[in-house]
């Protein structure tokens, strides 16, 4: 009979008492608390025998010995959950002591396996349970979310800021260059947003089908995909329908804009954008699986979005929006870059060879600093060369934030859940720099109008 | 109307954790630390579908016990008790049925649950839940928690008689 390893058994010493349980002759479990000592080398627990025939620990059946702990948190509930249960056999008591020999152990300590990871690892059990329940009930019983939450989760709506910033910047730069049409601007915002959401949903489909999202047991609000398929909140068919509807809407608006502007350049930018978005996760290119995801995202959310919005208004390409798009592209790519850090184990298991999978932590951490600083250097060079208006230097106010994120990545690289706050700040960095650039351009436009 | 001794009811009203013992498919006892809720007649525990093996065990073998043993989880009350009974799994609609059945009782013991519930989108499967309704049938009570003394035993039948 296998015995519990000494290292496992000695973990019971963390508990002040144990609860001993067995099944009585009537089929009811019986539980009684008692004190104990462990003899880890022999896989034995020496139990103080409880008094009374009703709770005499039996020797002819399997016995469970469990230590558990919580810490009450007044006004909230409790935390520090952990428990360890052992199964085995008890010997006849001698001198008030019963020797219990442990042959199997199972436990959970939320300090070692965070609750969110424990939950993710248990998703297959939930699916199995609901399938059995559906079969027993004769009707499908599936997890649900309200429509609003489901839309938010499925499309990963909050990431839309990554689209709004380059599009607004493209429109503002066009305005500075003397071209602005409100209806074209609104159509651009809606079309670009639909394209972004379509790509989010498509990526989810491919990441789920490839097993990358399922292999990731440390998803966060910023990484690990929407998981609507894994949680069975939507079927594959439903998600495909959503993706096609979003792509259809984006394509229709894109073609309408090409027709309204008569710009072949815009058509080419649109085609390139959709191609990069799909090739990001879809075979045969699967760019993100080859460590090229950041470049694809930088191109998609930098030049394509920003220049696209600019071309809609002006009908031509220009150097100034291209320079600004480099900064924006880098910062959006850095969102992906940092979000891939906690995903790296699951990604590696699914053959998704992202940069954090391929490179050492020090290289990744140093790479972040280099790329973030480059984003700011581009602005300085742009202003120094006279391409960008000097108020765009406002964006440099975010440099300390970038340095703080770099420190945070170094400190929390190994911990998906504490890294989550850093990931949030990194998303904010893109928003803040984007906002400051927009503010810089707005200030330039106002100043120009006032001086006229 | 409950037949449980008053000190045991007091334990049930404050306990943040009790050990639910169920019988596994091979007759093995399996124990789950869970928050016990009490409406003055029955004990309610509940489980996410994520951690639903216990529900499968109960549906196969309805006899269970709930042990109240940890003074830290019972506001310093050192009494101990084990309540045996029959359990029923209520799971017609795991999405929302539990809310109408036990959310009020749960909230009283773990107020933070409301803020988690508002973030249902973050962990949707955690809030797909079944309720375990336990009808007490026999109670073993250790005043002061001293199990070196035989427990005081009472049953629903003896109270009825």
User: Could you please report the per-residue DSSP string of A125-194?
Assistant: HHHHHHHHHHHHHTS-------HHHHHHHHHTGGGGHHHHHHHHHHHHHHHHTT---HHHHHHHHHHHHH
What is the ipTM metric for this complex?
0.95
Higher pLDDT, A258 or A219: A258
Query: Which pLDDT score, from 0 to 100, does residue A43 have?
Result: 86
Query: Which pLDDT score, from 0 to 100, does residue B159 have?
Result: 52
Residue A108 Cα, gap to closest chain B Cα (Å): 11
* Planar angle of CA A389, A394, A396, nearest 5 degrees: 115
User: Could you please report the per-residue DSSP string of A312-358?
Assistant: HHHSS--HHHHHHHHHHHHHHHHHHHHHHHHHHHHHHHTT---HHHH
B105 touches chain A (CB under 8 A): no
The token pair that represents A203 in the structure block: 């990526």
What is the rounded CA–CA span in Å between residue B61 and residue B87? 9
Which of B28, B33, B80 shows the shortest C-beta gap to A62?
Answer: B28
Residue A29 to residue B21, Cβ atoms within 8 A: yes
Query: Which pLDDT score, from 0 to 100, does residue A124 have?
Result: 95
What is the rounded CA–CA span in Å between residue A232 and residue A241? 15
Residue A170 has pLDDT above 90, yes or no: yes
Q: How confident is the model at residue B8 (pLDDT cuts 50, 70, 90)?
A: very high
Query: Which pLDDT score, from 0 to 100, does residue A261 have?
Result: 96
The token pair that represents B53 in the structure block: 């093996």
Residues B94 and B128: beta-carbon distance below 8 Å: yes
Q: How confident is the model at residue B161 (pLDDT cuts 50, 70, 90)?
A: very low
Q: What is the DSSP letter of A304?
A: I
User: What is the enclosing helix (H) or strand (E) of A245?
Assistant: helix A236-261
Shortest CA distance to B16 belongs to which of A77, A69, A85? A77
Residues B156 and B136: beta-carbon distance below 8 Å: yes
Residue B160 has pLDDT above 60, yes or no: no
Query: Which pLDDT score, from 0 to 100, does residue B158 have?
Result: 59
* Cis before A168 (ω within 30): no
Higher pLDDT, A43 or A305: A305
Residue B10 Cα, gap to closest chain A Cα (Å): 17
Residue B151 to residue A119, Cβ atoms within 8 A: no
The whole-chain average pLDDT of chain B stands at: 94
Residue B50 to residue A21, Cβ atoms within 8 A: no
What is the rounded CA–CA span in Å between residue A385 and residue A27? 85
Q: What are the counts of helices (DSSP H) followed by strands (DSSP E) for chain A?
A: 16, 7
B47 touches chain A (CB under 8 A): no
State how far the alpha carbon of A190 is from the alpha carbons of A43, A109, A239, A315, A417, in Å. Answer: 66, 47, 20, 19, 34
Backbone φ, ψ for residue A233 (5° rounding): -75, -30
What is the rounded CA–CA span in Å between residue A66 and residue A106? 9
Say if residue B92 is exposed, middle or buried (CB neighbours under 10 Å; 0-12, 13-18, 19+).
Answer: exposed
What is the rounded CA–CA span in Å between residue B115 and residue B79? 32
Give the pLDDT mean for B9-32.
96
Whether pTM > 0.80 for this model: the answer is: yes
- Give A231's contacts in chain B (Cβ within 8 Å): 124-125
* Planar angle of CA A317, A197, A167, nearest 5 degrees: 30
Q: Which of A173-177, A206-210, B135-139, B149-153 has the lowest mean pLDDT?
A: A206-210
- Residue A60 contacts by C-beta under 8 Å, 6 or more apart in sequence? none
pLDDT > 90 in chain B, percent: 88
Helix ranges, A262-304 (H)? 264-279, 293-299
State how far the alpha carbon of A392 is from the alpha carbons of A263, A363, A443, in Å. Answer: 29, 30, 9
Q: What are the counts of helices (DSSP H) followed by strands (DSSP E) for chain B?
A: 5, 8
Query: Which pLDDT score, from 0 to 100, does residue A39 have?
Result: 92
Per-residue pLDDT reduced to its tens digit, A386-396: 999 999 999 99
Q: Which of A15, A16, A22, A28 has the most B C-beta neighbours within 10 Å, making it the best mutation to test the interface with B?
A: A28
Residue A27 to residue B61, Cβ atoms within 8 A: yes
Per-residue pLDDT reduced to its tens digit, A415-449: 887 888 899 999 999 999 999 999 999 999 999 99
Per-residue pLDDT reduced to its tens digit, A102-142: 999 999 999 999 898 899 999 999 999 999 999 999 999 99
Query: Which pLDDT score, from 0 to 100, does residue B1 have?
Result: 67
B76 touches chain A (CB under 8 A): no
Q: Which of B125, B134, B148, B152 has the most A C-beta neighbours within 10 Å, making it the best mutation to test the interface with A?
A: B125
Per-residue pLDDT reduced to its tens digit, A358-391: 999 999 999 999 999 999 999 999 999 999 999 9
Shortest CA distance to A411 belongs to which of A347, A368, A371, A370? A368
Q: Which residues of B56-79 are buried (b: 16+ CB within 10 A; e: fewer)?
A: bbbbebbbbbbbbbbeebbeebeb
Residue B34 Cα, gap to closest chain A Cα (Å): 11
Say if residue B40 is exposed, middle or buried (CB neighbours under 10 Å; 0-12, 13-18, 19+).
Answer: exposed
Residue A217 has pLDDT above 60, yes or no: yes
pLDDT > 90 in chain A, percent: 81
Q: What is the DSSP letter of B150?
A: P
Higher pLDDT, B31 or A286: B31
Helix ranges, chain B (H)? 6-14, 53-60, 97-109, 113-118, 156-160
The whole-chain average pLDDT of chain A stands at: 94
């Amino acid at each position: 009979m296998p015995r519990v390893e000494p290292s496992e058994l000695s973990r019971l010493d963390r508990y002040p008492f144990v609860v001993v349980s067995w099944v009585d002759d009537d089929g009811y479990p019986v539980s009684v608390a008692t004190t104990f000592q462990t003899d880890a080398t022999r896989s034995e627990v020496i139990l103080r025998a409880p008094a009374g025939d009703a709770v005499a620990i039996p020797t002819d059946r399997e016995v469970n010995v469990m230590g558990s702990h919580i810490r009450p948190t007044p006004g909230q509930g409790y935390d520090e959950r952990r428990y360890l249960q052992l199964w085995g056999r008890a010997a006849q008591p001698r001198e008030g002591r019963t020797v219990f020999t442990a042959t199997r152990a199972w436990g959970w300590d939320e300090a070692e396996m965070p609750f969110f990871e424990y939950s993710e690892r248990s998703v297959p059990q939930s699916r199995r349970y609901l399938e059995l329940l559906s079969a027993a009930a004769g009707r499908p019983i599936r997890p649900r979310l309200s429509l609003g939450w489901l839309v938010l989760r499925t499309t990963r709506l909050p990431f839309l800021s990554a689209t709004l910033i380059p599009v607004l910047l493209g429109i503002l730069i066009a305005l500075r260059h003397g071209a602005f049409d409100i209806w074209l601007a609104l159509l651009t915002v809606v079309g670009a947003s639909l394209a972004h959401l379509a790509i989010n949903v498509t990526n989810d489909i491919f990441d789920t089908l490839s097993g990358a999202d399922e292999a990731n047991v440390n998803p966060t609000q910023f990484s690990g995909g929407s998981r609507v398929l894994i949680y069975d909140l939507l079927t594959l068919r439903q998600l495909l329908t959503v993706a096609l509807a979003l792509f259809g809407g984006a394509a229709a608006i894109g073609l309408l804009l090409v027709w309204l502007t008569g710009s072949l350049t815009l058509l080419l930018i649109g085609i390139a954008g959709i191609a990069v978005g799909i090739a990001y996760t879809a075979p045969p290119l699967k760019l993100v699986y080859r460590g090229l995801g950041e470049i694809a995202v930088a191109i998609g959310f930098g030049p394509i979005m920003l220049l696209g919005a600019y071309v809609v208004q002006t009908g031509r390409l220009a150097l100034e929006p291209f320079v600004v798009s480099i900064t924006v592209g880098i910062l959006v790519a850095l969102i992906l870059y940092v979000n891939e850090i906690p995903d790296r184990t699951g990604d590696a298991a699914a053959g998704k060879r992202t940069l954090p999978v391929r490179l050492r932590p020090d290289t990744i951490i140093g790479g972040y600093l280099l790329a973030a600083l480059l984003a700011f250097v581009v602005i300085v060079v742009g202003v120094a060369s006279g391409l960008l208006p000097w108020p765009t230097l406002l964006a440099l106010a975010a440099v300390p934030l970038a340095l703080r994120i770099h420190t945070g990545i170094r400190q929390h690289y190994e911990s998906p859940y504490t890294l989550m706050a850093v990931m949030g700040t990194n998303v904010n960095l893109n928003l803040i720099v984007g906002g400051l650039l927009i503010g810089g351009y707005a200030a330039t436009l106002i100043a120009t109008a006032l001086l006229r | 109307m409950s037949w449980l001794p008053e000190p045991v009811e007091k334990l049930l009203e404050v306990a943040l954790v009790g050990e639910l013992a169920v019988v596994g498919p091979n007759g093995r006892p399996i124990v789950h630390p869970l928050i016990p809720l009490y409406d003055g007649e029955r004990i309610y525990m509940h489980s996410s579908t994520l951690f639903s093996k216990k529900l499968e065990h109960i549906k196969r073998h309805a006899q269970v016990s709930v042990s109240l043993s940890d003074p830290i989880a019972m506001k310093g009350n050192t009494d101990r008790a084990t309540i045996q009974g029959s359990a029923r799994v209520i799971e017609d609609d795991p999405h929302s049925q539990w809310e109408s059945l036990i959310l009020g009782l749960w909230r009283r013991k773990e107020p933070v649950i409301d803020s988690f519930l508002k973030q249902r989108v973050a962990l949707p499967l955690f809030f797909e839940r079944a309720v375990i309704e336990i009808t007490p049938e026999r109670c073993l009570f250790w005043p002061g928690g001293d199990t070196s003394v035989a427990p005081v035993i009472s049953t629903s039948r003896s109270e009825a008689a």
